[in-house]
């Protein structure tokens, strides 16, 4: 870790994370025309947001900043790759880590790892389903499209809300704060798929006003003081590959988990895979565990094949 990263990250221990996030929620939902019509264009310019792919290109037509931030895209803006043996990237963003889960350990950043058991809210049975499996971590920056999509079609088994802090999840903070993703508040969605169990972990962060899913609506806030669980055995929810499953109201991180021997990374994952360019199909990471990259998924993986399935 560098000195600037340390200086940025350590003061966050002192911040009132949830209070600041609630305040940001009020700001981003403000419908005052003068405010939102001043704020949104400046945000677009500051972060170089590409509005040409938005379903509504005119910033003035959004009722509030949050509607702009969680904007829909034009049909076809994120085409799904063909083939039943491919898994889609769940979000636009930076692919900060991907690789194999080493027993119960996942890589957070260079020189830092954390426990699968802690990430999954202390549930040993659930953690056991993903030991020695595969994982990917995608960081959504302010400029990105902030709706989340299904990597594979699956039936929702369970949703878990784990309370916690709301540290920033950018590169500087992940390099400095230990166990960051297992400290922050998060929503875990467990699906049963043709590739076995799949977990999508929606990690909260400072200024993330809320985390929503399509089947539940707003999961947080409010934030409970203990782990909450919802089972869907008698209320079947099935989502197809590429379907929207949730969204961040302000940016954050999503982590994808698969079980042991269920899938392997496709070769060339970290290379540019722009629209129309084929994805290499050979496994790349069987012998290269915990390979670290930082690549724009928006260009490289946007609902293009990120993985290949075994079998």
Given 96, 168, 223, 252, the catalytic residue: 252
Q: Name the residue with tokens 């499953």.
A: 245
Given 21, 149, 168, 210, the catalytic residue: 149
Known catalytic residue at 92:
yes
Given 92, 123, 144, 264, the catalytic residue: 92
Known catalytic residue at 146:
no
Known catalytic residue at 141:
no
* Cis peptide leading into residue 72 (ω within 30°): no
Closest listed residue to residue 41, CA positions, set 51, 32, 31 = 51
Active site residues: 92, 149, 252
């Amino acid at each position: 870790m560098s000195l600037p990263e340390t200086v940025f990250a350590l003061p966050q221990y002192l911040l009132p994370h949830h209070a600041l996030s609630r305040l940001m929620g009020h700001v981003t939902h403000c419908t005052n025309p003068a405010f939102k019509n001043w704020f949104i264009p400046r945000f677009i310019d500051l972060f170089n947001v590409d509005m040409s792919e938005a379903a509504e290109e005119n910033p003035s037509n959004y009722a509030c900043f949050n509607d702009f931030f969680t904007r829909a895209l034009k049909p076809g803006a994120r085409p799904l790759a063909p083939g039943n043996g491919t898994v889609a990237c769940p979000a636009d963003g930076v692919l900060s880590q991907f690789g194999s889960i080493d027993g119960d350990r996942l890589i957070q950043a260079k020189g830092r790892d954390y426990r699968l058991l802690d990430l999954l809210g202390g549930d040993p049975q659930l953690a056991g389903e993903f030991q020695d499996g595969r994982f990917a971590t995608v960081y959504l920056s302010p400029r990105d499209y902030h709706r989340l999509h299904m990597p594979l079609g699956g039936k929702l088994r369970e949703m878990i809300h784990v309370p916690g802090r709301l540290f920033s999840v950018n590169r500087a903070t992940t390099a400095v704060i230990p166990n960051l993703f297992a400290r922050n508040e998060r929503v875990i969605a467990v699906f049963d798929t043709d590739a076995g169990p799949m977990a999508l972990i929606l990690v909260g962060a400072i200024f993330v006003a809320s985390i929503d899913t399509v089947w539940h609506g707003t999961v947080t806030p409010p934030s409970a003081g203990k782990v909450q669980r919802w089972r869907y055995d008698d209320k079947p929810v099935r989502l197809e590959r590429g379907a929207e499953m949730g969204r961040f109201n302000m940016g954050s991180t999503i982590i994808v988990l698969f079980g042991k021997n269920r899938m392997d990374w496709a070769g060339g994952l970290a290379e540019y895979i722009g629209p129309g360019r084929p994805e290499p199909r050979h496994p790349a990471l069987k012998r290269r565990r915990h390979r670290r990259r930082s690549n724009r998924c928006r260009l490289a993986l946007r609902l293009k094949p990120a993985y290949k399935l075994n079998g």
